[in-house]
Structure 1
Amino acid sequence: MSLEQFSKLISASTHNFSHPLPAELLLASEGDLQTFYAPFDHINLGARIVVCGITPGLQQTRLALTEAGQQLRLGTSVQQAKQAAKDTGSFAGPLRNNLVRMLDYVGVHKLLGINSCARLFDTHRHLLHSTSALRYPVFVNGKDYSGSPSMLSRSSLRHQVETHLAEEIRVLGPQCLYVPLGPKVTEVFQHLQAKGLLKPEQLLDGLPHPSGANAERISYFLGGKPREKLSSKTNAATLDTAKARILAKLATLRSTGVMN
Protein backbone atom coordinates (compact mmCIF):
# COMPACT_ATOMS: atom_id res chain seq x y z
CA MET A 1 0.00 0.00 0.00
CA SER A 2 1.18 3.53 -0.66
CA LEU A 3 -0.03 7.11 -0.92
CA GLU A 4 -0.06 6.82 -4.72
CA GLN A 5 -3.01 4.43 -4.48
CA PHE A 6 -5.05 6.73 -2.25
CA SER A 7 -3.83 10.16 -3.42
CA LYS A 8 -7.02 11.07 -5.33
CA LEU A 9 -9.24 10.16 -2.39
CA ILE A 10 -7.07 11.95 0.18
CA SER A 11 -6.47 15.09 -1.88
CA ALA A 12 -10.14 15.44 -2.88
CA SER A 13 -11.64 14.43 0.44
CA THR A 14 -13.84 16.87 2.34
CA HIS A 15 -13.84 14.35 5.19
CA ASN A 16 -12.30 15.78 8.36
CA PHE A 17 -10.85 12.32 9.09
CA SER A 18 -12.62 11.95 12.40
CA HIS A 19 -13.59 8.44 13.47
CA PRO A 20 -14.82 6.42 11.74
CA LEU A 21 -12.26 6.90 9.00
CA PRO A 22 -13.46 6.63 5.38
CA ALA A 23 -14.31 3.04 4.50
CA GLU A 24 -12.22 3.39 1.33
CA LEU A 25 -9.10 3.49 3.53
CA LEU A 26 -9.83 0.16 5.24
CA LEU A 27 -6.99 -2.28 4.55
CA ALA A 28 -7.89 -5.24 6.73
CA SER A 29 -10.54 -6.41 9.16
CA GLU A 30 -9.93 -9.30 11.55
CA GLY A 31 -12.48 -9.85 14.28
CA ASP A 32 -12.52 -6.71 16.41
CA LEU A 33 -9.42 -5.33 14.69
CA GLN A 34 -9.48 -2.86 11.80
CA THR A 35 -6.43 -1.58 9.93
CA PHE A 36 -6.65 1.61 7.86
CA TYR A 37 -4.32 3.23 5.38
CA ALA A 38 -2.66 6.48 6.46
CA PRO A 39 0.43 8.08 4.85
CA PHE A 40 3.19 6.73 7.08
CA ASP A 41 5.13 5.22 4.16
CA HIS A 42 8.13 7.56 4.13
CA ILE A 43 11.46 5.98 5.16
CA ASN A 44 14.39 8.24 6.00
CA LEU A 45 17.17 6.28 4.29
CA GLY A 46 19.91 8.39 5.92
CA ALA A 47 18.79 7.63 9.48
CA ARG A 48 21.14 6.34 12.14
CA ILE A 49 18.57 5.96 14.91
CA VAL A 50 15.03 4.59 14.66
CA VAL A 51 12.44 5.27 17.34
CA CYS A 52 9.55 2.82 17.13
CA GLY A 53 6.13 2.97 18.78
CA ILE A 54 3.24 0.51 18.53
CA THR A 55 1.01 2.05 15.85
CA PRO A 56 -0.22 5.53 14.94
CA GLY A 57 -3.21 6.62 17.02
CA LEU A 58 -6.29 8.35 15.67
CA GLN A 59 -4.96 11.84 16.40
CA GLN A 60 -1.69 11.23 14.58
CA THR A 61 -3.57 9.52 11.75
CA ARG A 62 -5.89 12.48 11.27
CA LEU A 63 -2.94 14.91 11.25
CA ALA A 64 -1.07 12.83 8.67
CA LEU A 65 -4.08 12.43 6.37
CA THR A 66 -4.92 16.13 6.59
CA GLU A 67 -1.33 17.18 5.91
CA ALA A 68 -1.02 14.81 2.95
CA GLY A 69 -4.25 16.15 1.47
CA GLN A 70 -3.09 19.76 1.85
CA GLN A 71 0.30 18.98 0.28
CA LEU A 72 -1.26 17.20 -2.68
CA ARG A 73 -3.73 20.03 -3.28
CA LEU A 74 -0.78 22.46 -3.32
CA GLY A 75 0.75 20.40 -6.12
CA THR A 76 3.69 18.92 -4.25
CA SER A 77 4.98 15.52 -5.30
CA VAL A 78 3.64 12.37 -3.69
CA GLN A 79 7.07 11.77 -2.14
CA GLN A 80 7.11 15.23 -0.56
CA ALA A 81 3.57 14.74 0.69
CA LYS A 82 4.61 11.44 2.27
CA GLN A 83 7.50 13.04 4.11
CA ALA A 84 5.43 16.00 5.32
CA ALA A 85 2.66 13.70 6.54
CA LYS A 86 5.13 11.44 8.35
CA ASP A 87 6.80 14.37 10.10
CA THR A 88 3.52 15.87 11.31
CA GLY A 89 3.12 15.44 15.06
CA SER A 90 6.00 12.97 15.36
CA PHE A 91 6.59 12.24 19.06
CA ALA A 92 5.39 15.69 20.15
CA GLY A 93 4.91 17.12 23.63
CA PRO A 94 5.91 15.44 26.93
CA LEU A 95 6.63 12.12 25.21
CA ARG A 96 9.34 13.74 23.07
CA ASN A 97 10.84 15.56 26.06
CA ASN A 98 11.02 12.39 28.14
CA LEU A 99 12.51 10.44 25.24
CA VAL A 100 15.22 13.07 24.69
CA ARG A 101 16.09 13.16 28.40
CA MET A 102 16.54 9.38 28.55
CA LEU A 103 18.50 9.12 25.30
CA ASP A 104 20.85 11.89 26.44
CA TYR A 105 21.19 10.33 29.89
CA VAL A 106 22.52 7.06 28.47
CA GLY A 107 24.72 8.87 25.94
CA VAL A 108 23.05 8.24 22.59
CA HIS A 109 23.84 11.83 21.57
CA LYS A 110 27.56 11.08 21.93
CA LEU A 111 27.24 8.06 19.66
CA LEU A 112 25.52 10.25 17.06
CA GLY A 113 27.99 13.12 17.44
CA ILE A 114 25.43 15.74 18.48
CA ASN A 115 25.11 17.83 21.66
CA SER A 116 21.64 16.49 22.53
CA CYS A 117 19.07 14.12 21.05
CA ALA A 118 16.75 17.15 20.95
CA ARG A 119 18.62 17.97 17.71
CA LEU A 120 16.99 14.89 16.14
CA PHE A 121 13.79 16.92 15.99
CA ASP A 122 15.26 20.10 14.49
CA THR A 123 18.77 20.59 13.04
CA HIS A 124 19.61 16.87 12.76
CA ARG A 125 16.24 15.44 11.78
CA HIS A 126 18.01 13.62 8.94
CA LEU A 127 19.52 11.22 11.52
CA LEU A 128 16.13 10.09 12.84
CA HIS A 129 13.56 7.73 11.41
CA SER A 130 10.31 7.61 13.38
CA THR A 131 8.15 4.56 12.81
CA SER A 132 5.76 2.06 14.35
CA ALA A 133 5.80 -1.70 14.70
CA LEU A 134 2.47 -1.52 12.87
CA ARG A 135 2.99 1.08 10.13
CA TYR A 136 -0.70 1.60 9.46
CA PRO A 137 -3.13 2.53 12.24
CA VAL A 138 -5.01 -0.27 13.95
CA PHE A 139 -8.17 0.11 16.01
CA VAL A 140 -9.83 -2.34 18.39
CA ASN A 141 -13.59 -1.89 18.43
CA GLY A 142 -13.00 1.62 17.11
CA LYS A 143 -10.43 2.57 19.77
CA ASP A 144 -6.66 3.02 19.44
CA TYR A 145 -4.80 -0.29 19.55
CA SER A 146 -2.36 -0.34 22.49
CA GLY A 147 -0.69 -3.71 22.12
CA SER A 148 -3.40 -6.20 23.04
CA PRO A 149 -3.91 -8.72 21.51
CA SER A 150 -0.22 -9.35 20.84
CA MET A 151 1.07 -8.11 17.50
CA LEU A 152 2.40 -11.58 16.77
CA SER A 153 -0.83 -13.38 17.64
CA ARG A 154 -3.14 -12.04 14.90
CA SER A 155 -2.44 -12.55 11.20
CA SER A 156 -3.30 -9.00 10.10
CA LEU A 157 -0.94 -7.54 12.72
CA ARG A 158 1.85 -10.05 12.18
CA HIS A 159 1.64 -9.34 8.45
CA GLN A 160 2.42 -5.67 9.08
CA VAL A 161 5.39 -6.59 11.29
CA GLU A 162 6.88 -9.12 8.90
CA THR A 163 6.21 -7.04 5.77
CA HIS A 164 6.42 -3.31 6.46
CA LEU A 165 8.65 -3.15 9.54
CA ALA A 166 10.91 -5.87 8.16
CA GLU A 167 11.20 -3.88 4.92
CA GLU A 168 12.25 -0.77 6.83
CA ILE A 169 14.96 -2.67 8.71
CA ARG A 170 16.30 -4.15 5.46
CA VAL A 171 16.53 -0.85 3.59
CA LEU A 172 17.95 1.11 6.53
CA GLY A 173 20.85 -1.29 6.87
CA PRO A 174 23.14 -2.31 9.75
CA GLN A 175 24.19 1.25 10.72
CA CYS A 176 20.91 1.98 12.53
CA LEU A 177 20.23 1.81 16.25
CA TYR A 178 16.65 0.80 17.12
CA VAL A 179 14.82 2.17 20.18
CA PRO A 180 11.57 0.26 20.81
CA LEU A 181 9.08 2.13 22.99
CA GLY A 182 7.86 -0.37 25.56
CA PRO A 183 7.94 -4.15 26.02
CA LYS A 184 5.30 -4.93 23.38
CA VAL A 185 7.43 -3.31 20.67
CA THR A 186 10.56 -4.94 22.10
CA GLU A 187 8.87 -8.34 21.66
CA VAL A 188 8.39 -7.57 17.96
CA PHE A 189 12.02 -6.56 17.48
CA GLN A 190 13.24 -9.67 19.29
CA HIS A 191 11.10 -11.69 16.89
CA LEU A 192 12.70 -10.00 13.88
CA GLN A 193 16.15 -10.28 15.45
CA ALA A 194 15.61 -14.04 15.75
CA LYS A 195 14.91 -14.02 12.01
CA GLY A 196 18.30 -12.42 11.42
CA LEU A 197 17.03 -9.01 10.33
CA LEU A 198 19.09 -7.07 12.86
CA LYS A 199 21.96 -7.73 15.25
CA PRO A 200 21.65 -7.67 19.06
CA GLU A 201 23.87 -4.58 19.30
CA GLN A 202 21.40 -2.62 17.13
CA LEU A 203 18.57 -3.02 19.65
CA LEU A 204 18.49 -0.49 22.50
CA ASP A 205 15.65 -2.02 24.50
CA GLY A 206 14.80 -1.46 28.14
CA LEU A 207 14.14 2.29 28.33
CA PRO A 208 10.94 3.09 30.25
CA HIS A 209 8.17 4.11 27.89
CA PRO A 210 8.40 7.92 27.56
CA SER A 211 4.68 8.45 28.15
CA GLY A 212 3.81 11.05 30.77
CA ALA A 213 1.87 8.32 32.59
CA ASN A 214 5.21 6.58 33.23
CA ALA A 215 6.69 9.49 35.20
CA GLU A 216 7.89 7.52 38.22
CA ARG A 217 9.80 4.90 36.21
CA ILE A 218 11.38 7.64 34.09
CA SER A 219 12.38 9.63 37.17
CA TYR A 220 14.00 6.59 38.78
CA PHE A 221 15.78 5.63 35.56
CA LEU A 222 17.20 9.17 35.34
CA GLY A 223 18.33 9.10 38.97
CA GLY A 224 15.77 11.64 40.08
CA LYS A 225 13.81 9.52 42.55
CA PRO A 226 15.42 7.31 45.22
CA ARG A 227 14.63 3.62 45.30
CA GLU A 228 13.13 3.74 48.80
CA LYS A 229 10.48 6.24 47.70
CA LEU A 230 9.20 4.21 44.76
CA SER A 231 5.65 2.90 44.71
CA SER A 232 4.93 -0.80 44.40
CA LYS A 233 4.15 -0.26 40.71
CA THR A 234 7.79 0.37 39.84
CA ASN A 235 10.23 -2.54 39.68
CA ALA A 236 13.59 -0.97 40.50
CA ALA A 237 15.57 -4.17 39.85
CA THR A 238 14.21 -4.46 36.31
CA LEU A 239 15.08 -0.84 35.56
CA ASP A 240 18.56 -1.18 37.09
CA THR A 241 19.28 -4.24 34.96
CA ALA A 242 18.01 -2.54 31.81
CA LYS A 243 20.06 0.60 32.48
CA ALA A 244 23.25 -1.38 33.05
CA ARG A 245 22.69 -3.33 29.84
CA ILE A 246 22.01 -0.16 27.82
CA LEU A 247 25.05 1.68 29.18
CA ALA A 248 27.30 -1.30 28.50
CA LYS A 249 25.98 -1.70 24.96
CA LEU A 250 26.48 1.97 24.13
CA ALA A 251 29.98 1.98 25.63
CA THR A 252 30.88 -0.95 23.37
CA LEU A 253 29.37 0.73 20.31
CA ARG A 254 31.33 3.93 20.95
CA SER A 255 34.60 2.09 21.53
CA THR A 256 34.29 -0.18 18.49
CA GLY A 257 32.72 2.31 16.10
CA VAL A 258 30.34 -0.42 14.90
CA MET A 259 27.49 2.03 14.23
CA ASN A 260 29.65 4.56 12.37
Structure 2
Amino acid sequence: MSLEQFSRLLSASTHTFAHPLPAELLLASEGNLQTFYAPFDHINTSARIVICGITPGLQQTRLALDEARQQLRQGSSIEHAKQTAKETGSFAGTMGNNLVRMLDHVGVHTLLDIESCARLFDTQRHLLHSTSALRYPVFVNGKDYSGSPAMLSRTSLRQQVETHLAEEIRVLGPQCLYVPLGPKVAEVFHHLQARGLLKAEQVLDGLPHPSGANAERISYFLGRKPREKLSSKTNPATLDSAKARVLAKLATLQSKRFFD
Protein backbone atom coordinates (compact mmCIF):
# COMPACT_ATOMS: atom_id res chain seq x y z
CA MET A 1 0.00 0.00 0.00
CA SER A 2 1.40 3.39 -1.00
CA LEU A 3 1.58 6.30 1.43
CA GLU A 4 -1.01 8.15 -0.63
CA GLN A 5 -3.45 5.24 -0.56
CA PHE A 6 -2.95 4.85 3.18
CA SER A 7 -3.56 8.55 3.80
CA ARG A 8 -6.69 8.67 1.64
CA LEU A 9 -8.14 5.52 3.18
CA LEU A 10 -7.67 6.56 6.79
CA SER A 11 -8.58 10.22 6.33
CA ALA A 12 -11.89 9.32 4.74
CA SER A 13 -12.70 6.17 6.68
CA THR A 14 -15.46 5.96 9.27
CA HIS A 15 -14.61 2.30 9.93
CA THR A 16 -14.42 1.33 13.61
CA PHE A 17 -11.55 -1.05 12.81
CA ALA A 18 -13.25 -3.88 14.66
CA HIS A 19 -12.86 -7.30 13.06
CA PRO A 20 -12.98 -7.73 10.13
CA LEU A 21 -10.52 -5.05 9.11
CA PRO A 22 -11.24 -3.18 5.84
CA ALA A 23 -10.57 -5.34 2.78
CA GLU A 24 -8.43 -2.51 1.36
CA LEU A 25 -5.86 -3.22 4.08
CA LEU A 26 -5.41 -6.91 3.17
CA LEU A 27 -1.80 -7.52 2.09
CA ALA A 28 -1.62 -11.30 1.78
CA SER A 29 -3.73 -14.40 2.17
CA GLU A 30 -2.18 -17.86 2.53
CA GLY A 31 -4.48 -20.70 3.51
CA ASN A 32 -6.07 -19.72 6.82
CA LEU A 33 -3.56 -16.89 7.33
CA GLN A 34 -4.37 -13.27 6.52
CA THR A 35 -1.93 -10.36 6.76
CA PHE A 36 -3.25 -6.80 6.93
CA TYR A 37 -1.53 -3.47 6.61
CA ALA A 38 -1.33 -1.29 9.73
CA PRO A 39 0.94 1.71 10.38
CA PHE A 40 3.83 -0.07 12.11
CA ASP A 41 6.51 1.02 9.61
CA HIS A 42 8.28 3.66 11.70
CA ILE A 43 11.85 2.81 12.76
CA ASN A 44 13.45 4.74 15.61
CA THR A 45 16.95 5.04 14.15
CA SER A 46 18.43 6.39 17.40
CA ALA A 47 17.44 3.23 19.33
CA ARG A 48 19.98 1.18 21.26
CA ILE A 49 17.61 -1.56 22.38
CA VAL A 50 14.81 -3.30 20.49
CA ILE A 51 11.92 -5.15 22.11
CA CYS A 52 10.39 -7.57 19.65
CA GLY A 53 7.07 -9.41 19.94
CA ILE A 54 5.44 -11.82 17.49
CA THR A 55 2.99 -9.59 15.61
CA PRO A 56 0.54 -6.80 16.48
CA GLY A 57 -2.79 -8.14 17.71
CA LEU A 58 -6.18 -6.81 16.71
CA GLN A 59 -6.42 -4.50 19.73
CA GLN A 60 -3.02 -2.93 19.05
CA THR A 61 -3.87 -2.69 15.35
CA ARG A 62 -7.12 -0.88 16.05
CA LEU A 63 -5.38 1.58 18.38
CA ALA A 64 -2.69 2.28 15.78
CA LEU A 65 -5.17 2.78 12.95
CA ASP A 66 -7.36 5.06 15.05
CA GLU A 67 -4.35 7.12 16.16
CA ALA A 68 -3.05 7.43 12.59
CA ARG A 69 -6.47 8.53 11.34
CA GLN A 70 -6.74 11.15 14.08
CA GLN A 71 -3.26 12.49 13.32
CA LEU A 72 -3.94 12.70 9.59
CA ARG A 73 -7.24 14.52 10.12
CA GLN A 74 -5.37 17.02 12.29
CA GLY A 75 -2.99 17.72 9.43
CA SER A 76 0.02 15.72 10.64
CA SER A 77 2.44 14.31 8.09
CA ILE A 78 2.13 10.65 7.19
CA GLU A 79 5.47 9.88 8.84
CA HIS A 80 4.46 11.59 12.10
CA ALA A 81 1.11 9.77 12.02
CA LYS A 82 2.94 6.46 11.66
CA GLN A 83 5.34 7.27 14.47
CA THR A 84 2.62 8.17 16.98
CA ALA A 85 0.49 5.23 15.82
CA LYS A 86 3.31 2.78 16.45
CA GLU A 87 4.02 4.22 19.89
CA THR A 88 0.37 3.90 20.94
CA GLY A 89 -0.09 1.12 23.48
CA SER A 90 3.34 -0.48 23.05
CA PHE A 91 4.12 -2.87 25.92
CA ALA A 92 2.00 -1.01 28.43
CA GLY A 93 0.65 -2.22 31.77
CA THR A 94 1.66 -5.45 33.50
CA MET A 95 3.69 -6.76 30.57
CA GLY A 96 5.78 -3.59 30.41
CA ASN A 97 6.37 -3.63 34.17
CA ASN A 98 7.47 -7.27 34.13
CA LEU A 99 9.83 -6.60 31.24
CA VAL A 100 11.41 -3.64 33.03
CA ARG A 101 11.98 -5.71 36.19
CA MET A 102 13.73 -8.48 34.26
CA LEU A 103 15.89 -6.13 32.19
CA ASP A 104 16.96 -4.23 35.29
CA HIS A 105 17.59 -7.50 37.15
CA VAL A 106 20.19 -8.64 34.59
CA GLY A 107 21.71 -5.16 34.34
CA VAL A 108 20.59 -3.89 30.94
CA HIS A 109 20.03 -0.44 32.46
CA THR A 110 23.69 -0.33 33.49
CA LEU A 111 24.84 -1.14 29.96
CA LEU A 112 22.55 1.59 28.61
CA ASP A 113 23.79 3.98 31.32
CA ILE A 114 20.31 4.83 32.55
CA GLU A 115 18.70 4.72 36.00
CA SER A 116 16.24 1.97 35.08
CA CYS A 117 14.79 0.42 31.94
CA ALA A 118 11.51 2.04 33.02
CA ARG A 119 12.99 5.24 31.56
CA LEU A 120 12.84 3.62 28.10
CA PHE A 121 9.10 4.25 28.26
CA ASP A 122 9.31 7.92 29.27
CA THR A 123 12.38 10.19 29.49
CA GLN A 124 14.72 7.88 27.49
CA ARG A 125 12.20 6.72 24.92
CA HIS A 126 14.59 7.67 22.11
CA LEU A 127 16.74 4.66 23.10
CA LEU A 128 13.92 2.16 22.51
CA HIS A 129 12.52 0.70 19.32
CA SER A 130 9.47 -1.54 19.74
CA THR A 131 8.69 -3.91 16.90
CA SER A 132 7.42 -7.36 15.93
CA ALA A 133 8.96 -10.28 14.09
CA LEU A 134 5.97 -9.90 11.76
CA ARG A 135 5.65 -6.14 11.27
CA TYR A 136 2.10 -6.26 9.97
CA PRO A 137 -0.75 -7.99 11.87
CA VAL A 138 -1.45 -11.61 11.01
CA PHE A 139 -4.63 -13.50 11.82
CA VAL A 140 -5.34 -17.23 11.76
CA ASN A 141 -8.97 -18.02 10.97
CA GLY A 142 -9.72 -14.44 11.98
CA LYS A 143 -7.99 -14.68 15.37
CA ASP A 144 -4.68 -13.16 16.53
CA TYR A 145 -1.67 -15.15 15.34
CA SER A 146 0.35 -16.44 18.31
CA GLY A 147 3.20 -18.26 16.60
CA SER A 148 1.55 -21.30 15.03
CA PRO A 149 2.21 -22.26 12.27
CA ALA A 150 5.88 -21.37 12.72
CA MET A 151 6.88 -18.05 11.20
CA LEU A 152 9.60 -19.56 9.02
CA SER A 153 7.33 -22.33 7.72
CA ARG A 154 4.93 -20.20 5.66
CA THR A 155 5.89 -18.05 2.68
CA SER A 156 3.87 -14.97 3.64
CA LEU A 157 5.27 -14.99 7.19
CA ARG A 158 8.86 -15.77 6.30
CA GLN A 159 8.78 -12.97 3.75
CA GLN A 160 7.88 -10.49 6.48
CA VAL A 161 10.79 -11.71 8.62
CA GLU A 162 13.35 -11.64 5.82
CA THR A 163 12.15 -8.34 4.39
CA HIS A 164 10.83 -6.05 7.12
CA LEU A 165 12.57 -7.31 10.28
CA ALA A 166 15.82 -7.74 8.37
CA GLU A 167 15.45 -4.16 7.09
CA GLU A 168 15.05 -2.85 10.64
CA ILE A 169 18.18 -4.68 11.80
CA ARG A 170 20.19 -3.22 8.91
CA VAL A 171 18.90 0.31 9.52
CA LEU A 172 19.60 0.16 13.27
CA GLY A 173 23.16 -1.02 12.73
CA PRO A 174 25.48 -3.25 14.78
CA GLN A 175 25.33 -1.27 18.05
CA CYS A 176 21.88 -2.36 19.09
CA LEU A 177 20.51 -4.94 21.55
CA TYR A 178 17.54 -7.15 20.74
CA VAL A 179 15.12 -8.63 23.28
CA PRO A 180 12.91 -11.26 21.62
CA LEU A 181 9.76 -11.94 23.61
CA GLY A 182 9.45 -15.70 23.81
CA PRO A 183 11.10 -18.68 22.09
CA LYS A 184 9.20 -18.30 18.81
CA VAL A 185 10.60 -14.82 18.28
CA ALA A 186 14.04 -15.99 19.44
CA GLU A 187 13.94 -18.65 16.71
CA VAL A 188 13.49 -15.92 14.12
CA PHE A 189 16.48 -13.99 15.47
CA HIS A 190 18.63 -17.12 15.41
CA HIS A 191 17.66 -17.52 11.76
CA LEU A 192 18.69 -13.94 10.94
CA GLN A 193 21.84 -14.32 13.03
CA ALA A 194 22.78 -17.37 10.94
CA ARG A 195 22.41 -15.18 7.87
CA GLY A 196 24.95 -12.75 9.28
CA LEU A 197 22.61 -9.88 10.09
CA LEU A 198 23.63 -9.62 13.76
CA LYS A 199 25.91 -11.21 16.34
CA ALA A 200 24.91 -13.70 19.03
CA GLU A 201 25.72 -11.32 21.91
CA GLN A 202 23.27 -8.75 20.53
CA VAL A 203 20.30 -11.09 21.13
CA LEU A 204 19.20 -11.30 24.78
CA ASP A 205 17.00 -14.35 24.35
CA GLY A 206 15.77 -16.63 27.11
CA LEU A 207 13.97 -14.15 29.35
CA PRO A 208 10.51 -15.43 30.33
CA HIS A 209 7.78 -13.84 28.26
CA PRO A 210 6.60 -10.79 30.26
CA SER A 211 2.93 -11.76 30.02
CA GLY A 212 1.05 -11.93 33.32
CA ALA A 213 0.38 -15.61 32.56
CA ASN A 214 4.10 -16.24 33.14
CA ALA A 215 4.09 -14.87 36.69
CA GLU A 216 5.78 -17.88 38.30
CA ARG A 217 8.60 -18.07 35.74
CA ILE A 218 9.19 -14.33 36.05
CA SER A 219 9.22 -14.55 39.85
CA TYR A 220 11.82 -17.34 39.78
CA PHE A 221 13.94 -15.51 37.19
CA LEU A 222 13.94 -12.45 39.48
CA GLY A 223 14.95 -14.57 42.49
CA ARG A 224 11.68 -13.90 44.28
CA LYS A 225 10.40 -17.49 44.38
CA PRO A 226 12.61 -20.35 45.60
CA ARG A 227 13.21 -23.40 43.44
CA GLU A 228 11.54 -25.80 45.89
CA LYS A 229 8.26 -23.91 45.74
CA LEU A 230 7.90 -23.99 41.95
CA SER A 231 5.05 -25.86 40.32
CA SER A 232 5.72 -28.65 37.81
CA LYS A 233 4.94 -26.20 34.98
CA THR A 234 8.15 -24.28 35.58
CA ASN A 235 11.52 -25.72 34.58
CA PRO A 236 14.14 -23.98 36.76
CA ALA A 237 17.11 -25.50 34.90
CA THR A 238 15.97 -23.91 31.64
CA LEU A 239 15.54 -20.52 33.30
CA ASP A 240 18.89 -20.77 35.10
CA SER A 241 20.65 -21.59 31.85
CA ALA A 242 18.94 -18.74 29.99
CA LYS A 243 19.79 -16.27 32.73
CA ALA A 244 23.44 -17.36 32.73
CA ARG A 245 23.62 -16.85 28.94
CA VAL A 246 22.11 -13.37 29.16
CA LEU A 247 24.48 -12.35 31.97
CA ALA A 248 27.46 -13.69 30.00
CA LYS A 249 26.43 -11.72 26.91
CA LEU A 250 26.00 -8.53 28.91
CA ALA A 251 29.41 -9.03 30.53
CA THR A 252 30.95 -9.43 27.07
CA LEU A 253 29.24 -6.27 25.84
CA GLN A 254 30.40 -4.34 28.91
CA SER A 255 33.99 -5.45 28.37
CA LYS A 256 33.78 -4.37 24.73
CA ARG A 257 32.28 -1.00 25.77
CA PHE A 258 29.48 -1.80 23.32
CA PHE A 259 27.83 1.63 23.18
CA ASP A 260 31.03 3.73 23.27
Same fold (TM over 0.5): yes
Structure 1 Cα separation of the partners of residues 230 and 47 of structure 2: 37
Q: Percent identity?
A: 83
Q: Which amino acid aligns with 1:242?
A: A
Q: Which amino acid aligns with 2:52?
A: C
Matched, 1:175 2:165: no
Q: Which amino acid aligns with 2:75?
A: G
Q: How many pairs align?
A: 260
By how many angstroms is 1:258 displaced? 2.3
Q: Which runs of 5+ in 1 are unaligned?
A: none
Matched, 1:213 2:207: no
Q: Residues 48-87 of structure 1: matches in 2 within 5 Å?
A: 48-87=48-87
Counterpart residue number, 2:188: 188
Structure 2 Cα separation of the partners of residues 167 and 251 of structure 1: 28
Q: Which amino acid aligns with 2:151?
A: M
Structure 2 Cα separation of the partners of residues 238 and 26 of structure 1: 39
Q: Which runs of 5+ in 2 are unaligned?
A: none
Structure 2 Cα separation of the partners of residues 257 and 224 of structure 1: 31
By how many angstroms is 1:259 displaced? 3.5
Counterpart residue number, 1:40: 40
Q: Residues 1-260 of structure 1: matches in 2 within 5 Å?
A: 1=1, 3-260=3-260
Structure 2 Cα separation of the partners of residues 127 and 258 of structure 1: 14
Q: Which amino acid aligns with 1:123?
A: T
Structure 2 Cα separation of the partners of residues 40 and 259 of structure 1: 26
Structure 1 Cα separation of the partners of residues 246 and 157 of structure 2: 28
RMSD of aligned residue pairs (Cα, Å):
0.8
- Residue 25 and residue 234 in structure 1: after superposition, are their counterparts in 2 closer, same or farther (change >3 A)? same
By how many angstroms is 1:104 displaced? 0.3
By how many angstroms is 1:3 displaced? 4.3
> What is the TM-score normalised by the length of structure 1?
0.99
By how many angstroms is 1:7 displaced? 1.2
By how many angstroms is 1:4 displaced? 4.1
Structure 1 Cα separation of the partners of residues 240 and 48 of structure 2: 26
**For 1:16-74, what per-residue CA distance to the aligned partner results, in whole angstroms no more than 9, with x for missing partners?**
10000000000000000000000000000000000000000000000000000000000
Q: Which amino acid aligns with 2:41?
A: D
Structure 1 Cα separation of the partners of residues 199 and 218 of structure 2: 27
By how many angstroms is 1:10 displaced? 1.1
By how many angstroms is 1:209 displaced? 0.2
**For 1:199-257, what per-residue CA distance to the aligned partner results, in whole angstroms no more than 9, with x for missing partners?**
11111101000000000000000001000111111010000001011111111211221
Q: Runs in 1 of length 4+ with deviation above 2 angstroms? A: 1-5
> What is the TM-score normalised by the length of structure 2?
0.99
Q: Which amino acid aligns with 1:258?
A: F
Report the 3-state secondary structure (helix = DSSP H, G, I; strand = E; otherwise coil) of the residue aligned with 1:152: helix
Structure 2 Cα separation of the partners of residues 219 and 225 of structure 1: 6
Structure 2 Cα separation of the partners of residues 30 and 150 of structure 1: 13
By how many angstroms is 1:2 displaced? 5.5
- Contact 1:52–1:178 under 8 Å retained in 2: yes
Report the 3-state secondary structure (helix = DSSP H, G, I; strand = E; otherwise coil) of the residue aligned with 1:131: strand
Structure 1 Cα separation of the partners of residues 110 and 4 of structure 2: 39
Structure 2 Cα separation of the partners of residues 2 and 204 of structure 1: 35
Q: Which amino acid aligns with 2:204?
A: L
- Residue 110 and residue 4 in structure 1: after superposition, are their counterparts in 2 closer, same or farther (change >3 A)? farther
Report the 3-state secondary structure (helix = DSSP H, G, I; strand = E; otherwise coil) of the residue aligned with 1:67: helix
Q: Which amino acid aligns with 2:110?
A: K
By how many angstroms is 1:107 displaced? 0.4
Q: Which amino acid aligns with 1:250?
A: L
- Contact 1:51–1:181 under 8 Å retained in 2: yes
Structure 2 Cα separation of the partners of residues 115 and 258 of structure 1: 18
